[in-house]
Chains A and B, each alone.
Chain A
């Protein structure tokens, strides 16, 4: 449980948000040309990092907008928040 700084609404409790998992997984541009292995990679395989992770969150009980969060999964500390479409402010720590 922690505080998330929604880029649209400001600081709110984490319970107002819904986590959408790992960020920057691009939907395949040519789905019909994907092999089964590539589909599996896109659909199921995750980095599941212990440490700095880039992830998507939705302010589901607030403005309902999606945005990105950089969070350390080993201590739940949030390092940065940035809007969809923006470049991550830090690459990694």
Chain B
């Protein structure tokens, strides 16, 4: 009973967060930057921030995560971090030779008020940035938003710095995913590939943070969108943003800066979510849905029908990043499960609440932002126990204490593997998710049913 202290009665808390269901902006910016080829994320702040983010991402992906830091000292926090970052830029290009350095700020450098745009210009005029190399920045104050905001900000900064409208009409569309797993990014590309669509996708962390073991430590793994691709995004015909909170900033900026119209979709999780995505893809690229994609859809639908009796009416509590939990809610509705609770530490606004209610019904309890933490989530569960929890590793305390099964989805996952390699998005992701859900309910039935109704064929 690790959480034996959690009281059932929900009282108003004025100030504090207990067991957060979010983390700070910079780690999201670091993750987004890893989705660009030969890009080295750089943390402009104290050394600890960078070490923590790298450790957290390493625990989640079990792959080396490379990033550098300005290593602030007391002096830097009085006089500003300009000297630190100028020195860092020189050292990084000399030593690690990335194509691009993606600087994100921290609470410290934000409060000091370092003007990164001006500092980068200074680095350019002083010749500290070698020919053909680039440095960009994004502002990620840790006291605003969450890791999802940081991811969105860094993604938008790539557009701000690199996307250009040259006037050439390229026969391609842009795909911008929210903060999701590398496996999910691969799956989105797979669907577009199967439909024969030309696209640019960024960030793209597949083959970066889920690299193979091939006997070599690579500072820059094979994957990631190239700067050339991000540049060309300004000449695409359309942008599809997948996930409102994580992806729309970059998509909207492509619209205002390069006049590439955008459409903002939810993450394609479950049958209906993927249908929406595939339909948008089809219209954006002017192609027909390929037979291979229809086959995947048909297989998912087939299993949904076959096994409906095992998912029907089961209750679920969801916690995680807004884009992800919204997708999960869609999936749950598709397979006829009932969502009781939706909680996210990242503030998602009233539109999000309305959308969740539209999907799950008026009775669903939805809360995001301040005080929407794991403590609160646990209290909700104590008051109405679901059959299943969907959330990150930190749900394991609740799952254990309350005796409720947990499927790990979201960030971070520190105690299971698979999320790096197998998707939850797309039809195939839906099938994987459904298999996981069914395994839990059917194993439970096998374990708990009385002998006379213990079934061989299910």
Q: Does B bind A?
A: no
